[in-house]
Structure 1
Amino acid sequence: MSTGFPLRDGRMAERNGHSGRAHAAAIGGVVLVAFFAGVIPLLLVVDVPDVGRSWAWTLTIGVAVWAGVRLSLLIVAGEARLFDFFFWLFVYIFMGLAPTVQMRSGLLSTTTPGMNPDLDVPTAVIVWIGLLCYELGRLAAMLRERTLRAHQGGTLGAERAGHRVTGVSRARTLILLALGVVFSAYFVLKIGVGTLLSSRDTAFAARQAAWPDPATRSVMYALAIYPLLVGVGALAAVRRRADRHRALYLVILLAATVLLLVVVNPVSSARYSLGTVWFALIVYAGAMLTARRRRIVMGAAIAGLIFVFPIADAFRRVTVDVTWDGFFGEYKGSPDYDAFWQIANAYSFVHDGLVVAGQQALGMLFFWVPRAIWADKPVDTGILLANYRGYPFTNLSAPFWAEALVNGGVIVVAVAFLALGYLLRRFDTRLVPAFADNGLWAIVGAIFPVYMLILLRGSLLQASGTVTIAVACILFVAQSARAGRDATAADAGRRLALRLPAPRPRLADRPRGDPSRSPTSRSALPPSGAPSHPSGDDARGRPGGS
């Protein structure tokens, strides 16, 4: 039997454990990079012959490679940097794989016909400008964090905020849930349960008949979803901290979740809305609490958007389409992947001198102003570009690049992506510690990173109402600063109490405060010549007595 130094042995075991985990992470990183940045792009080139439309596909496949590297590193790190993750997931699919397949095959999105091949290369360059500026903005935020960390004792204010804002108001949470139930129930009664579970086309026609105005229709749909979705997350946080009524809270959570899943169901709901709700519910259930869970969830999100999203519409229409043209065939001619071509249309819009600087941004900021008051209020950027090109179908996307272009050109693209990279890094810095504490930022992290797929795809004007409602719901359930400090202090006290050892029992026959009975009192010592062994009572009163 070895009689070494336990402390040294423990440190060696800890070092070996860290070394083993680092080795496994390195192997996992190599495998993921090889798959997402190597195997999939290589299979694309082999499987999809190049018809010679343009050489811009070499730039877009480079986008896919770089985005694949970034996604792989995020998964290996196992941190909850979800804003950055979903940004690169969007880029990987919509700016990398999809346009590469469409350019090599010559089968562009059917909703953007007649695209000039001369626009392909400038469009790909604009995409790269946005990505490089995003990385520069993110790097600037990281350098600022490093500087602040050095001056603030190793902890950033944003990280402390992630830990500090841990509470939600129980009373406001219950009020929001009640309002959410009212809005959702009204929506279900107005549309009909049977209609909601029939097909997407039927459900959309019913919504259109109920609320003919598109802005009103969008707001009503958001009110049917986000008060309930935010309320479920807030009540889950309340329940985790509650000492009483946990069973009642669980019943309310289950009932609210069922109603939410009727409103947002796989049959009639838009895939982005469905993904947002499902992802949020998974996060509420604890999917972000460990590195292993985070890696699984991020891997599942990639698999879902790559493999499930393209075919998710097959059984949601009146006419079921079960044709299969291979994995990359799902991108050929698909109207779901018109984002790259809408950037090309926006560049053409700029080239023709039609830009009115900031006009579309004003429409987004003042989305709530009725058109009866603001007659020339801007339309969605997707509709603007569709009208510019004379397309019969106008419900098109307008990715963030296109939104920036129509608001001022390539310079605005660079500035917008610098700001986006900086802000998303700051948001992620708050998210990393927040999930463990089930706070307000944990609810933000459950909803907004995946919803960012909608924002990146555009149009921003179309999504402004939904974002405003979701933000208002989150702010409504926030605890006041004083209540938050009290809750944090109480929670810290409970955690400290759990860590402290149990108090040792007091000496049975020695009242506190009696110095004459103290073991250290001189009068308690036996007189000279007396037996040195204790009496029975004294033996029972001392530790170790029998």
Structure 2
Amino acid sequence: MKINQQTKANVVMFMVSLLPPLIINCSITDSFFPFQFVNFILIVWCACRIFSFDNKPISSDTITYLFIYIFLGIAPLYQFSAKALLWGGAPIKDTDYFYATIILLGGILIYDMAYHVYYYSKRYLRQSKSSTHAKSLQLSNTRALILSTLSLVITLYAYKDYPILLILREYNEDVKIVFDAFSNTSLNLIYTIVIRPIPIVVLMYYNIISKKQCLFSYILLFIVLITNFPLSLPRFYVAGLYLPLMFTYYRRLIYKPLLIKFIFIFGILFVFPFLNQGRTVTSVSELEVSIIPDYEMFLTGHFDTFQNGLRVIRDNYVTYGEQLLGVILFWFPRSIWPGKPIGSGGVIAEEFGLTFDHIALNYWAEGWINFGLIGIVLFSIILGKINATFDIKFYKRKPSICYMTIYFIYLGMLFFILRGDLISCVAYMVGLSAATYGCSKLIIHKSR
């Protein structure tokens, strides 16, 4: 049987993906075989799913396994080898790593079964007749420019006292007040998740419909860079906005899965460490840019989602749906509901006496913190159905321009959704979807 070049490349990438865990395991002096064995099984399973030999286009399922490979496979192994304890709290035993990995592996396998059951049971449904091809649509340049300019004006107003924050994301307490430029918390939320991303959504629509670059597209890009400069945003938001934008510039990328997988892995291993250089400075003069990434971040809170989930599972901390209620009603003003649940990261930071409260909690641990072991099963099935639905509608039907854009955004935001915590990522995803849908109604119309 003749093996094509794509399959050969997948085999090579699969073998390469197993090198990091093998190297780390060989360097561990204080080993614990049960955890290392189960961890290696998880990593091998992820590598099989990522570099499967069917040569399918990139999908939300593939992105999910890329996340698991890095954040729930490689990162915990690094932390185990270094005996790292993130954010303090009670010491983590070797057996804690083992049991948490076993439970997560079970949840991942349930997700995989749910995804494939739903995907193959729905894939042959009739294609939607309501979608409209991009060639039959037009974008109103005037309305697009008005919307983008409106977002720009509001952004400049919000950052008028500290314009440096348009370039660098600083944490100095003297300048943090810029995030409260609007006295009403609800207005701050609407601005952050709906109004600010409008220029980049408009540019995505322009790229999909027009497919040609001209002065107008460069003006839109200029507005995007002012309102959403990469170094001024949380890194998950950079991925959630700029990855889908890249897809609209180079649509064929979506059908080159190996390249996309490389971009994701390269982004985590090199780009994110590079962007980390702009997070803690308080002025441009303090910024020291190095082309050599700072890999100390892999033993810090940037990859804390596994350990935080481990704590929840180890101590069997369950809120019986309270956190999920906060996720569903994230939009409800805290001024009216003072007891509204905070993010799960803040909850476990307080519960376990951690030194930082703005921390991540992975998707499967969110299931546990809500309903225990049943929650992991339930959340795994839900994720499988959501991912399968997104992939089916994009690849097996004729998606609308609006849906196509939301799908690209979902692919970019999926790392954030899976890393957690859930209340933040749901708020951002809903806000971006609302901005995308609203812009489509205002600036896109059928050709006459």
Confirm or deny a common fold (TM above 0.5): yes
1:190 aligns with 2:127: no
1:24 aligns with 2:2: no
Gaps of 5+ in 1: 1-18, 150-155, 241-245, 491-546
Indicate the residue corresponding to 2:38 in structure 1. 59
Are the counterparts in 2 of residues 228 and 260 from structure 1 also a CA contact under 8 Å?
A: yes
Indicate the residue corresponding to 1:390 in structure 2. 353
User: 1:28, CA displacement in angstroms?
Assistant: 1.3
5 Å-filtered alignment, 1:256-335, equals 256-288=220-252, 291-292=255-256, 294-318=257-281, 330-332=297-299, 334-335=300-301
Coordinate RMSD, CA, aligned: 3.4
Are the counterparts in 2 of residues 360 and 381 from structure 1 also a CA contact under 8 Å?
A: yes
**Deviation string, structure 1 residues 194-246 (Cα, Å, up to 9, x no partner):** 33224533597253352577665443222343322222222333324xxxxx7
Mapped to 1, the partners of 2:55 and 2:179 lie a distance apart of 45
Indicate the residue corresponding to 1:139 in structure 2. 116
Mapped to 1, the partners of 2:165 and 2:338 lie a distance apart of 35
Mapped to 1, the partners of 2:65 and 2:82 lie a distance apart of 24
User: 1:254, CA displacement in angstroms?
Assistant: 2.1
Are the counterparts in 1 of residues 368 and 376 from structure 2 also a CA contact under 8 Å?
A: yes
User: 1:94, CA displacement in angstroms?
Assistant: 0.5
Gaps of 5+ in 2: none
Distance change (3 Å), C-alpha of 1:103 and 1:415:
same
Indicate the residue corresponding to 2:68 in structure 1. 91
Indicate the residue corresponding to 1:399 in structure 2. 362
Indicate the residue corresponding to 2:22 in structure 1. 42
Q: Matched residue of 2:250: which SS? A: coil
- Equivalent residue in structure 1 for 2:149, among 158, 181, 205: 181
**Deviation string, structure 1 residues 364-397 (Cα, Å, up to 9, x no partner):** 1111211221121111111011111122310011
Name the TM-score, length of structure 2 as normaliser: 0.86
Indicate the residue corresponding to 2:391 in structure 1. 428
Mapped to 2, the partners of 1:122 and 1:414 lie a distance apart of 16
User: 1:258, CA displacement in angstroms?
Assistant: 1.7
1:228 aligns with 2:199: yes
- Equivalent residue in structure 1 for 2:58, among 80, 89, 99: 80
Mapped to 2, the partners of 1:432 and 1:290 lie a distance apart of 11
Indicate the residue corresponding to 2:210 in structure 1. 239
1:106 aligns with 2:83: yes
Are the counterparts in 2 of residues 357 and 407 from structure 1 also a CA contact under 8 Å?
A: yes
One-letter amino acid of the structure 2 residue matched with residue 343 of structure 1: G
Mapped to 1, the partners of 2:350 and 2:106 lie a distance apart of 27
User: 1:27, CA displacement in angstroms?
Assistant: 1.3
1:346 aligns with 2:346: no
**Deviation string, structure 1 residues 296-335 (Cα, Å, up to 9, x no partner):** 2332222211333234313443266889999976523x11
User: 1:53, CA displacement in angstroms?
Assistant: 6.5
Name the TM-score, length of structure 1 as normaliser: 0.71
User: 1:181, CA displacement in angstroms?
Assistant: 2.9
One-letter amino acid of the structure 1 residue matched with residue 46 of structure 2: A
One-letter amino acid of the structure 1 residue matched with residue 384 of structure 2: G
Distance change (3 Å), C-alpha of 1:383 and 1:216:
farther
Mapped to 2, the partners of 1:472 and 1:323 lie a distance apart of 38
1:359 aligns with 2:322: yes
Indicate the residue corresponding to 2:425 in structure 1. 463
Q: Matched residue of 2:230: which SS? A: coil
1:71 aligns with 2:71: no
User: 1:421, CA displacement in angstroms?
Assistant: 1.3
Q: Matched residue of 2:367: which SS? A: helix
One-letter amino acid of the structure 1 residue matched with residue 273 of structure 2: P
Mapped to 2, the partners of 1:289 and 1:340 lie a distance apart of 31
Mapped to 1, the partners of 2:189 and 2:36 lie a distance apart of 36
Mapped to 1, the partners of 2:168 and 2:292 lie a distance apart of 27
Q: Matched residue of 1:77: which SS? A: coil
Q: Matched residue of 1:161: which SS? A: coil
Are the counterparts in 1 of residues 363 and 417 from structure 2 also a CA contact under 8 Å?
A: yes
- Equivalent residue in structure 2 for 1:116, among 92, 102, 107: 92
Q: Matched residue of 2:335: which SS? A: coil
Indicate the residue corresponding to 1:507 in structure 2. none
**Deviation string, structure 1 residues 139-173 (Cα, Å, up to 9, x no partner):** 21233146xx3xxxxxx33xx23993435975788
Are the counterparts in 1 of residues 64 and 414 from structure 2 also a CA contact under 8 Å?
A: yes
Distance change (3 Å), C-alpha of 1:25 and 1:316:
same
5 Å-filtered alignment, 1:456-495, equals 456-478=418-440
Distance change (3 Å), C-alpha of 1:478 and 1:224:
closer
Q: Matched residue of 1:114: which SS? A: coil
Mapped to 1, the partners of 2:216 and 2:293 lie a distance apart of 44
Distance change (3 Å), C-alpha of 1:315 and 1:143:
closer
Distance change (3 Å), C-alpha of 1:135 and 1:126:
same
Indicate the residue corresponding to 2:170 in structure 1. 200
One-letter amino acid of the structure 2 residue matched with residue 51 of structure 1: D
- Equivalent residue in structure 1 for 2:303, among 337, 343, 349: 337
Mapped to 2, the partners of 1:132 and 1:395 lie a distance apart of 29
Mapped to 1, the partners of 2:261 and 2:140 lie a distance apart of 32
Mapped to 1, the partners of 2:355 and 2:254 lie a distance apart of 49
Distance change (3 Å), C-alpha of 1:127 and 1:328:
farther
One-letter amino acid of the structure 2 residue matched with residue 331 of structure 1: F
Distance change (3 Å), C-alpha of 1:430 and 1:387:
same
One-letter amino acid of the structure 2 residue matched with residue 258 of structure 1: F
